[in-house]
Structure 1
Amino acid sequence: MKVIVCLLVLVLSVNQGFAQKSRKFNGKSRKDMFGGARDYRQLTKDGLQISFGLNYTFTNPKNTVYELNDANNRPTTTTIDPIGRPGAFIDIGAAHYRLKPSRILAAIYKSRGEKGSVKWIGANLIHRIDWGIGFNYIGGSEYVKNEIKDPAGTIFTEGTQTFYNGYLTARVTADRFTQIGEGWHLETGFGFNFNYNVLPSPKAPKIISGAPLKFQQDFMAQFHLHIAFDKTIRRGDYLIFGFFIPTFGIYEPNIARPTVQWYSSNYWPVQLQVKWIHHFTKKSNGCNTGTPEDRKRNDEYMQNR
């Protein structure tokens, strides 16, 4: 829980420390890296997003020990050691950019004695909302060791049981940007994800023990954090590398833990994410854009792509 609280504080505070700059979607832009000509495409504030990557289930590093009696009333010590497993995910959806300044932050800006409109990108509480529908394959293992005190001597039984569940997912995430270099932004955000287990592992242990069993219900809802680095490939195309971190469990609440319960352990699935966003181009209305010299340079750029 301490790790989760620290991540939440980081997301809420990290945007305050850097100089910031907005992105351009319409009109003239800086020279494109691929030919030197200006890019005059009229871009919409909406685009396609594709996210994919790996996940890994983090577990409690400490073993859990249960002292109990078995069915024959023999004293038994059961040790549970959960083990994380890698998985994978993908989701496809859309991205929507919000460029209007926040009225609240604009009021704060003016209260400081500044004149005119708010020009810094920090005037927006949220810069982008993106969503996706996809599939997430999550797994984990559990090592079980039983020590049974028998009149004839101590009996040992042990083994490892593994599960993988396939979830149909729906996600919505809101992000803010902070410029950290030429063509690079830090993204910090939050959102909600909803998972439904369409490929469940058998809800039965392979190794018999006296430890309590709990299998997550098929439907799961969580609050998550998003931390990433955003690279501008060209105006309207971005590659994003980051982490998708479930933070609070909403359903099943599981004491608000954002984990998958399986066998006798909890598994926290953190995702390493790669995201591509491509903005759509507005349909041309037949009007000329820029001076004849600008249009000539733009035609040369398009021919040399």
Structure 2
Amino acid sequence: MKFVVCILLIVITGFSFGQSRNLRGKSRKDFFGGARDYRQLTKDGIQISLGPNFTFTNPKITEYSGTDATGRPVTASVDPIGKPGAFIEIGAAHYRLKKSRVLDAWYKKRGDKGEIKWIGANLFHRLDWGLGFNYIGGSERTRFELVDPSGVSSFDESTGSFYNGYVTARVTIDRFTKIADGWHLETGLGFNFLFNALPAPKAPYVPTIAPVKFQQDFMAQFHLHLGFTRTIRRGDYLTFGFLVPAIGIYEPNKARPTIQWFSSNYWPIQFQIRWIHHFTKKSNGCNTGTPEDRKRNDEYMQNR
């Protein structure tokens, strides 16, 4: 967890330094008088995401019955326990400013009914992707009850833990809904891919009658995204949100979006902070783009 805190401090410090450079030499009127930002921004930008994760587990204890090596009856009670981890990701964001022709034509056909406000004429507003590293762990406690020939029970307990280091790739499409001045709700879906580059030992921590299985090194998942975005300034945004795996694609694991380790399943949820910074268009002293493009860009960015 320490490296996540350090990276977050570096990002915030770098952003603050950049902001201070942009504010140097500006008068009080510039700060409080609403000086207009004349920068021409592109529809593309850089995104940095980081934060903690946590593996949620089935709260119920699962019991397995059988016999040990000597033929004595034994019951194994398996209790999975979630553990915290962390992730970091760097990539890009690409905004779609043009309306969908299909939706636009449908809205025009509706006539006076117009657009459905929460949908608008865009199928999605942003596509973003990233490459990163995700450190995911969990633990499991198994309690054994053995019955000897005289019918007397004895008990034993063992605990095993693991942490895997995954190299990740992700792509997500998002839609925005304005909920307050400077705040937007983001809802999205996408795919994420993980490769276990730093696997924990794939071995049982204790001999057990419970079925043991270790997830393959490569995984693919369908995920959902929910976030709340704060506008820092035009072209710079902070999002506080969640990335929730919804369907396991590979290894299928009965379509569960979980990591199977030891005798249990672990569902990793990401709690993320994302910074998006738009690039500024290079100018040779002339206006860039058509008047219609500039108008659409300004209207969109002001509404963000």
Unaligned regions of 5+ residues in structure 1, if any?
1-30, 290-305
Equivalent-residue separation in structure 2 for 1:53 and 1:126 (angstroms): 25
Q: Larger relative CO (CA 8 A, sep 6+): 1 or 2?
A: 1
Q: Which moved more, 1:280-289 or 1:54-63?
A: 280-289
Q: Is the 8 A contact 2:107 2:114 kept in 1?
A: no
How far the C-alpha of 1:176 sits from its partner, in A, is 0.2
Q: Is the 8 A contact 1:44 1:281 kept in 2?
A: yes
State how 1:1-305 maps to structure 2 within 5 Å. 36-114=34-112, 122-151=120-149, 153-287=152-286
Secondary structure, counterpart of 1:122 in structure 2: coil
Q: Is the 8 A contact 1:52 1:91 kept in 2?
A: yes
Q: Which moved more, 1:152-161 or 1:134-143?
A: 152-161
State the Cα RMSD in Å: 2.2
Runs in 1 of length 4+ with deviation above 3 angstroms? Answer: 31-35, 114-121
> Alignment identity in percent?
71
Q: Is the 8 A contact 1:82 1:141 kept in 2?
A: yes
Distance 1:240 1:107, change over 3 A: same
Unaligned regions of 5+ residues in structure 2, if any?
1-28, 289-304
Equivalent-residue separation in structure 1 for 2:71 and 2:220 (angstroms): 40
Q: Deviations over 1:30-78 (max 9, x none)?
A: x987662100000000000000001000000100000111111111000
Equivalent-residue separation in structure 2 for 1:213 and 1:63 (angstroms): 16
Q: Is the 8 A contact 2:137 2:163 kept in 1?
A: yes
Distance 1:163 1:120, change over 3 A: closer
More helix as a share of residues: 2
Q: Is the 8 A contact 1:105 1:124 kept in 2?
A: yes
Q: Deviations over 1:230-279 (max 9, x none)?
A: 11000000000000000000000000000000000000000001000000
Equivalent-residue separation in structure 2 for 1:114 and 1:239 (angstroms): 37
Distance 1:151 1:175, change over 3 A: same
User: How many residues are aligned here?
Assistant: 259
Secondary structure, counterpart of 1:73 in structure 2: coil
